[in-house]
Amino acid sequence: MIAHFPILVVVVLLISAAIVPIIGRRDWKISWLWTVAATLVSLVLSLWLLHTVMQVGKISYWLGGWEPPWGIEYAYDPLNAFVLSVVAFLAFVAAVYSKDVLPSEIEEQKIPFYYCMYILFITGLMGMVATGDIFNVYVFLEITSLAGYVLIGVSKNRQALMASYTYLILGTIAATFILLGIGYLYMATGTLNMADLGQRLPELYHSKVVLVGFAFLAVGLSIKVALFPLHNWLPNAYTYAPSVTSVIMAATATKVGAYVMIRMLFTVFNPQFEVVVIHLAELLLILSVVAILVGSVLAVAQTNIKKMLAYSSIGQIGYITLGIALLNTTGLTGSVLHILNHTLMKGALFMVAGAVVYRLGITSIRDFTGLGKKMPFTMAAFTVGALSMIGVPLTVGFVSKWYLAVGSLEAGMWYLLPVILFSSLLTAVYFWRVIDNIYFKNPVEGSVAVGSGDAPAGVVIPAMTVAALCVVFGIFASWPVTVAQKAAGLLIR
């Protein structure tokens, strides 16, 4: 059984997706229990894979016993085992969190089918991370996308339908580009295995077929990670989706897209291609800086808490791509760390936003006045998440920004330091508006905060757990840093 853990981490979820809507026909809570159990099993398997990879090195699993490149390979190294564990953890915590929140945001009879789509969404993310086959990445991408459209559109909020439709259109364009890119690379090399592609492509770097294939992949993945200016699908999708959907999509989906981008740039291709042949690093660096600044500025302008967090995500994605563009081990370490750190920070913040919507039905920042006294535990989780986003020392946000800053200096790009500092100041501005309302202003008579209480334990505990990890991994950063450094060192060679 242990020998099959590399495939079971995905198969357990895939089978569970078919079972959940059936067993939940009489009582949707059975679907919830099954979803929690399935994501917990997937988390345990992911952590086992990460531990094994760190101890013994790469793990390769051949589906059906067919040797790659002819067969499909699931290949695990420190990078994807790390990302797999991050996604599985957040999927489990969000599943626990969903029990109280979900019935208030979608119709009860739809909940078992929601959990089916939820598990399929996670299955697609896990499959994209686990597979070593580039066409398999596309297959799992489509599974994730189709499930994601449903997870957004199922909300009682009618604006969610338009958000889902926008995501559908742009997601389809992105998937088409990615499929075309894969097709062009297959035409040039005759293989779909990513490691095999990495060996065959260097002698074809100046081939027009390869260049066109890379261009399609680059644009498609940029849409999927919502890299500015291809981010238009993201703000409304995160804002109007059910709270559980906002949590899982904001915390994991774009991070998996960033992982695939890293895998394409450093495994399928290599830095020589990006620097010498197409000069991608310069373009990615410019887009990252613009994303960091524009995302922060747009977040300052928002009055809706979920939309503020959504635009904030655009800036945070810029940090991940900035580390990629630096093309050195330290910068890439910062990118890998930020995949974990942003998952924790944004997961906690969207959980808090969902808790406030559940308890009070509000999303306007000005209505948060006085919530520090009425919802102390929920607001404590929000405060920790906010401090982490700013990058205050002893939080995870500081750790990844530190590595990005050091990586910038190593690359001779000292002018990136003011960008990182200024964006952190902007982050402090838009989060301070909320914290000022929460703790330093009293609610007026008739305010929704008057007479309210904290959210249920099933909502507060997951949010506080994720927020606590923002501090734990900020103080005891050696474990994630060790994994990230090893992953980056293997990619940049």
Of 216-225, 264-273, 290-299, give the lowest mean pLDDT range: 264-273
Of 57-66, 320-329, 441-450, give the lowest mean pLDDT range: 441-450
What is the pLDDT at residue 37?
93
Helix (H) or strand (E) holding 75: strand 73-76
Instruction: Give the separation between CA 228 and CA 225, rounded to whole angstroms.
Output: 9
158: in domain? no
384: in domain? yes
What does pLDDT average to over the chain? 87
Tokens of 176: 């088409």
Give the tens place of pLDDT for each residue, 80-97: 899 999 999 999 999 999
What is the pLDDT at residue 126?
92
Predicted confidence band at 444 (pLDDT cuts at 50, 70, 90)? low
Give the DSSP letter string of 6-54.
HHHHHHHHHHHHHHHHHHTSS-HHHHHHHHHHHHHHHHHHHHHHHHHHH
Predicted confidence band at 281 (pLDDT cuts at 50, 70, 90)? confident
Predicted confidence band at 118 (pLDDT cuts at 50, 70, 90)? very high
- Mean pLDDT across 45-59: 89
What is the pLDDT at residue 253?
87
227: in domain? no
Query: Which residue has better confidence, 4 or 152?
Result: 152
What is the pLDDT at residue 459?
87
If we measure between CA atoms, which residue out of 144, 153, 171 comes closest to residue 232?
A: 171
348: in domain? yes
What is the pLDDT at residue 443?
65
- Mean pLDDT across 4-19: 87
Of 31-45, 238-252, 304-318, 358-372, give the lowest mean pLDDT range: 358-372
Phi, psi dihedral angles at 190 (to 5 degrees): 75, 15
What is the pLDDT at residue 448?
55
- Mean pLDDT across 365-383: 85
- Which range has the top average pLDDT, 87-91, 252-256, 362-366? 87-91
What is the pLDDT at residue 471?
92
Please name the residues in contact with 433: beta carbons below 8 A apart, sequence gap of 6 or more: 365
Instruction: Give the separation between CA 169 and CA 222, rounded to whole angstroms.
Output: 15
- Mean pLDDT across 461-479: 91
Give the DSSP letter string of 346-373.
HHHHHHHHHHHHHHH---BGGGGTTHHH
- H helices of 190-304, where? 194-200, 208-224, 234-240, 243-248, 254-263, 271-272, 280-300
Give the distance, in angstroms, between the CA of residue 253 and the centroid of all CA atoms in the same chain. 4
Q: Given the structure tokens 């840093």, which residue do they identify? A: 481
Predicted confidence band at 450 (pLDDT cuts at 50, 70, 90)? very low
- Mean pLDDT across 112-126: 92
Give the tens place of pLDDT for each residue, 145-198: 999 998 988 887 788 888 888 889 988 999 999 999 999 999 988 888 888 888
Tokens of 168: 């559908």
366: in domain? yes
- Residue 326, pLDDT > 90, answer no
229 upstream amide cis, omega within 30 of 0 = yes
- Mean pLDDT across 68-91: 88
Overall pTM > 0.85: yes
Q: What percent of the chain shows pLDDT beyond 70?
A: 96
What is the pLDDT at residue 384?
92
Predicted confidence band at 455 (pLDDT cuts at 50, 70, 90)? confident
Instruction: Give the separation between CA 261 and CA 272, rounded to whole angstroms.
Output: 16
CA atoms in the 13 A half-sphere facing the CB of 472: 10
What is the pLDDT at residue 88?
93
69 upstream amide cis, omega within 30 of 0 = yes
What is the pLDDT at residue 86?
92
Contact call for residues 385 and 467 (beta carbons, < 8 A): yes
Domain that includes residue 352, residue range: 283-493
- Mean pLDDT across 272-282: 74
What is the pLDDT at residue 156?
77
What is the pLDDT at residue 92?
94
If we measure between CA atoms, which residue out of 192, 189, 60 comes closest to residue 135?
A: 192
- Please return the burial class of 215, using the count of CB atoms within 10 Å of its CB with bins 0-12, 13-18 and 19+: middle
268: in domain? no
Instruction: Give the separation between CA 177 and CA 81, rounded to whole angstroms.
Output: 27
Helix (H) or strand (E) holding 305: helix 305-326
Query: Which residue has better confidence, 69 or 139?
Result: 139
Give the tens place of pLDDT for each residue, 195-244: 888 888 888 888 888 889 988 998 999 898 888 888 788 888 888 888 88
Q: Given the structure tokens 């989780």, which residue do they identify? A: 381
Instruction: Give the separation between CA 48 and CA 42, rounded to whole angstroms.
Output: 10
Give the total number of structural domains in the chain. 1
Of 204-218, 266-280, 374-388, 425-439, give the lowest mean pLDDT range: 266-280
